[in-house]
Amino acid sequence: MKVKLPKGMGGGPQNMNSMIKQAQKMQEDMESLQSELDEREYAVQAGGGMVTVNIFGTKIIKSIEIKPDIVDPDDIETLQDILVAAVNQAVKTVEDANAAEMQKVTGGMSIPGMF
């Protein structure tokens, strides 16, 4: 039994070649974008601007700046909490930015192993 596909569906080798070329182009675009995203830097603040985390698009922390006013030897816990919050927010910022940029390339298509 032969299955008839609606006109424009299936289409033989030409349609398959076109789909392969589109997939290859998308992969190239994604690789190029990923390289660009990896090189980006973000500055994320916490504690009312008392702590700034500078992070690369690769999720590697570049630096952490702490304003002296937040340092209280009698209350180290508050500083620790602010640092944790700042680092977590920095990582989330990178992940959200990367996902948004990748979605532009993929058109919202879910690709296993990617964002």
Q: Could you read off the pLDDT of 21-35 as tens digits, one per residue? A: 887 888 888 888 888
pLDDT of residue 115: 45
Determine the Cα–Cα distance for residues 86 and 79; give it in Å rounded to an integer. 10
The rounded mean pLDDT for the chain is 84
pLDDT of residue 56: 95
The residues spanned by each domain of the chain are 12-106
Q: Could you read off the pLDDT of 37-92 as tens digits, one per residue? A: 888 999 999 999 999 999 999 999 999 999 999 999 999 999 999 999 999 999 99
Query: One-letter amino acid identity for 88?
Result: N
pTM (two decimals):
0.68
Fold adopted by 12-106: Ybab; Chain: A; (3.30.1310)
Nearest Cα to Cα of residue 61 among 88, 96, 34, 36: 88
